[in-house]
């Protein structure tokens, strides 16, 4: 029983150590290829929205595979257009169930030469002018830094926008243990070491007593 109690104490301490250990950032890449499999390449004006992939929710776009006329990206994409239909939006929005960091997104222009802006909830933004669809206009927009919970991808063409996104990458937000947690772990280590010494001493005393005639 003494050995069992010691093992239980060690297990509890190990679990505590895991609980207060620093979290590591996990890189995530969303390509839309699995989700777009089986979809056509022609715009329909019917959104696949909301689209939930892991902790990310995409609003305002439709899944397409090898979109016709989108020369810069012939894989699975999430497209949005204002040419016809309803429900697809400008901006196309991404929200996250928990904060992420170091976000980037590949934006593909399906329009004439057009300016695009990618902006997050903290006011960080990046704007670039992309070449026409025929000239394979596209670029990766990056927003470094933590705390991102939502992102808008916006075309400057407010009436007849036509663009798609692909290769969304981000890191899960890291968390730093509170000083109190480290202090608790330190006290636990000292207590467990003291308990083990006392138990070993008690066991030696019992063994010595049993060895006496």
Tens digits of residue pLDDT in 97-132: 999 999 999 999 999 999 999 999 999 999 999 999
Query: What's the mean pLDDT in 130-156?
Result: 97
pTM above 0.95, yes or no: no
Helix, strand, coil tally for the chain in percent (to 5):
30, 35, 35
Distance CA 58, CA 46 (A): 14
Of the CATH numbers 2.60.40, 2.30.30, 2.40.50, 2.60.120, which one belongs to the domain with range 27-172? Answer: 2.60.120
Strand, coil or helix: 65: strand
Helix (H) or strand (E) holding 162: strand 162-172
Query: What's the mean pLDDT in 86-100?
Result: 96
> Which residues of 40-124 form beta strands (DSSP E)?
51-53, 56-59, 62-65, 76-81, 92-109, 114-120
- Is pLDDT at 199 greater than 50 in this prediction? yes
- Is pLDDT at 78 greater than 80 in this prediction? yes
Two tokens, residue 28? 């995530």
Residue 93: other Cβ atoms inside 10 A: 18
For residue 174, the model assigns a pLDDT of 52
Structural domain boundaries in the chain:
2-21+177-211, 27-172
């Amino acid at each position: 029983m003494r050995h069992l109690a010691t093992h239980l104490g060690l297990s509890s301490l190990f679990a505590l150590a895991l609980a207060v250990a620093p979290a590591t950032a996990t890189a995530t890449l969303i390509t839309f290829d699995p989700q777009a499999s089986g979809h056509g390449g022609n715009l329909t004006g019917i959104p696949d929205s909301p689209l939930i992939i892991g902790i990310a929710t995409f609003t305002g776009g439709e899944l397409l595979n090898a979109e016709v006329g989108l020369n810069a990206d012939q894989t699975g994409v999430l497209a949005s257009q204002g040419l016809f239909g309803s429900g697809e939006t400008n901006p196309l929005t991404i929200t996250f169930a928990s904060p992420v960091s170091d976000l980037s997104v590949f934006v593909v222009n399906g329009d004439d030469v057009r300016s695009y802006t990618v902006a997050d909830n903290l006011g960080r933004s990046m704007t670039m002018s992309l070449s026409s669809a025929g000239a394979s206009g596209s670029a990766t927009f990056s927003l470094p830094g933590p705390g991102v919970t939502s992102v808008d991808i916006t075309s400057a063409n407010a009436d007849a926008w036509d663009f798609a996104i692909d290769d969304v990458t981000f890191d899960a937000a890291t968390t730093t243990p509170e000083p109190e947690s480290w202090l608790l772990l330190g006290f636990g280590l000292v207590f467990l070491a003291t308990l083990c010494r006392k138990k070993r001493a008690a066991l030696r005393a019992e063994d010595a007593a049993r060895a006496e005639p």
